[in-house]
Amino acid sequence: MPLVGLRQRIASVRETRFATVAFVAVLAAISAACSGAAAGHPGYEPGYGPGGPGPGFFPLQPVSQGGTLVSNFYPFIFWIAVAVFVLVEGLLIWIVLRYRRRPTDTELPKQTHGNGVLEVIWTLIPAIIVTAMFVFTVDTLGKVETAQDPADNPQMTVDVTGFQWQWTFEYKDKGISLTGTGRDGPTMALPINEKIRIRLHATDVIHSFYVPQFLYKKDAIPGRTNEFDVIVQQVGTYAGQCAEFCGIGHADMHFTVQAMTPADFDAWVAQQQAPPPSASALPSNAPLVSVTSVGVVQGFTPKELSVAADTPWSVSLTNSDAAVPHNFSIHSANADGSDWNAPINADAGGSVTYQPPALATGEYTFFCSLHPNMTGTLHVGQ
């Protein structure tokens, strides 16, 4: 397959994406004016950054080996589809223009009941085309699904567990385990140009591990371990999200993949393995607020808290739920207006002390980022 030619064609088409962007630019103004209400959003997801090409007729820029294979194969299907589309719509428009009924049409048109040769032709040609598409599909599929080859061992394995509504990433041979929540979620650090095996587990319902820039997703299914291999080719930070609908917190089940050079990755591993810093220096007179979270349905107790303005403070969360982790987060508490998300969760039966930022006078809403329906009011005053 002439990959170079294909790539050039992709590049030329990518330029037409800017036309798409321009096409919606008018709406951007309206949208920008109206989305003031939505202020407080942390902005673009990692990998989508400002100045990105934006949505177009082609998948977004892949950063993995498998994604590149798919991205290179996509134009083959796309241009066949465009050709069929133009052919059929063109014929349709021609028919509509050419064969309108005219006042002079008193005689019946020629009554044609069919044409065996023509019908065989437009049965066989599509059959040949889809057979070709199938052959190339299976070829590409085999290259993408390299995990099918047991002889080709990965250099590293990450165990991913999805549960409502967060992810845990475990590097078992390195003793690293990360669990996180919120818009950025936990970060999976990966060395580039190494074959990584991702093993997918789920404990409650089905989730799906999706990194758009891998152009790949695979489901995490309770009672089953799915796995796939990925070779990331570009250093960068990429957004990931649960793609299989999994309940009330589905939209918040984000994570981040950070691809780095092998040297940087080794440094990251060493940093993760270092013992966590002891409790940070908080003034001993800092007020401590206590909250008990009772459960997903009942929510927090109490539901109203008061702290002083512009003063360092801390909050102790006791999770009295029998099975489910919770946390204490605050909407619009960061300096840039975004939500302050709890860095860790309180496991069932456990207790965690958080140190949220000092807050200006006003009313805030605190919540559990795992269960957005659990909320309470935080009064910040003098």
Task: Name the nearest CA neighbour of 196 among 231, 165, 168, 164.
Answer: 231
Task: Name the nearest CA neighbour of 346 among 328, 366, 367, 322.
Answer: 328
Where does this chain touch other proteins (CB under 8 A) — which range of 219-227, 313-321, 333-341, 355-363?
219-227
> Which residues are CB-neighbours of 268 under 8 A, at least 6 positions away?
189, 258, 260
Q: How far, in Å, CA of 253 to CA of 238, rounded?
A: 14
Q: How far is the CB of 33 from other proteins (least distance, A)?
A: 11
Residue from 370, 376, 378, 380 in contact with Cu ion (CB under 5 A): 370
DSSP string, 244-291: S--STTGGG-EEEEEEE-HHHHHHHHHHHHSPPPPS----TT--EEEE
Cα 261 versus chain centre, distance: 23
Residue 217 site contact among other proteins, Cu ion, none (CB < 5 to 8 Å, cut-off depends on kind): other proteins
Residue 368 site contact among Cu ion, other proteins, none (CB < 5 to 8 Å, cut-off depends on kind): Cu ion
Residue 286 site contact among other proteins, Cu ion, none (CB < 5 to 8 Å, cut-off depends on kind): none
Residue from 371, 376, 378, 380 in contact with Cu ion (CB under 5 A): 371
Q: How far is the CB of 35 from other proteins (least distance, A)?
A: 5
Q: Looking only at residues 221 through 260 of this chain, which bind other proteins when binding is defined by CB under 8 A?
A: 221-224, 226-228, 239, 241-252
- If the CB atoms of residues 33 and 263 are measured against other proteins, the closer one turns out to be 33
Where does this chain touch Cu ion (CB under 5 A) — which range of 147-155, 204-212, 266-274, 307-315?
204-212
Q: Decide if 181 contacts 325 (C-beta within 8 A).
A: no
The answer to the question of residue 157 lying near other proteins (CB under 8 A) is no
Torsion angle, alpha carbons of 255, 259, 264, 266, to 10? 70
User: What are residue 365's phi and psi, to 5 degrees?
Assistant: -110, 125
Q: Decide if 181 contacts 326 (C-beta within 8 A).
A: no
Residue 218 site contact among other proteins, Cu ion, none (CB < 5 to 8 Å, cut-off depends on kind): other proteins
Where does this chain touch other proteins (CB under 8 A) — which range of 4-12, 128-136, 262-270, 282-290?
128-136
Q: How far, in Å, CA of 288 to CA of 313, rounded?
A: 6
Q: Looking only at residues 337 through 376 of this chain, which bind other proteins when binding is defined by CB under 8 A?
A: 372-373
Where does this chain touch Cu ion (CB under 5 A) — which range of 25-33, 241-249, 264-272, 307-315?
241-249
To which residue do tokens 């102790």 refer?
316
Where does this chain bind Cu ion (CB under 5 A)?
207, 242, 246, 253, 326, 368, 370-371
